[in-house]
Amino acid sequence: MSHIEEEFLKIEKDHAWNTLFHKLENDHVIKTSDKKNDIALLNINRGLNRFRDVLPYDDTRVCLTTGSNDYINASYVEVPVANRKYILTQGPLQATSSHFWQMVWEQNSRVIVMLTGLIEKGCVSIIPPGTLLKPTAHKYYTIRREYLI
């Protein structure tokens, strides 16, 4: 069992999901009132965003290191209450699927946590066929393990 799974199980056991969500939401409102997302709004990048109102801030966005455009709708996020650092990103569009995997590779991401349905609102599946192992359902989330080498 991974550290993140242990943390999720503890939060679930303590019935603390709502408390954690509200704390993160309140902290976000306080800390982001003066943030800008000008780079996400550039004409060249608009089509790379799934939603018009879910954009990375300029000072915390993930930059791709290769290719003609370094933009991906993804942000570095530090969550002190969880003692973790994360990258938050949208579910990839057909046109951004390769950007997603490029980011995973460049950032050496070892765990991908998807906080949405596997396929939702045009999001292409990021799970290669035949790699999904047995899912484990919990009250607020499902753990889906994959075999990806």
Residues spanned by the domain of 37: 3-143
Identity of the amino acid at 122: G
Can you tell me the mean pLDDT for 122-146?
Answer: 68
Q: Does some domain include residue 14?
A: yes
Spatial CB neighbours of 133, under 8 Å, sequence gap ≥ 6? 144, 145, 146, 147
Q: Cβ(77)–Cβ(88) under 8 Å?
A: yes
Q: List, for residues 7-62, the tens digit of each pLDDT value.
A: 888 888 888 888 887 777 776 555 666 889 999 999 999 999 988 888 999 999 99
Read off the CATH number of the domain in which 75 is found.
Answer: 3.90.190.10
Q: Which of 23-27, 61-65, 75-79, 127-131 has the lowest mean pLDDT?
A: 127-131
Q: Does some domain include residue 149?
A: no
More confident residue, 23 or 70: 70
In the chain, how many domains are there? 1
pLDDT of residue 147: 60
Residue 9 to residues 31, 35, 39, 93, 132, Cα–Cα distance (Å): 28, 33, 37, 31, 21
Q: List, for residues 84-98, the tens digit of each pLDDT value.
A: 888 998 888 888 989
Can you read off the two tokens belonging to residue 109?
């991401």
Q: Does some domain include residue 148?
A: no
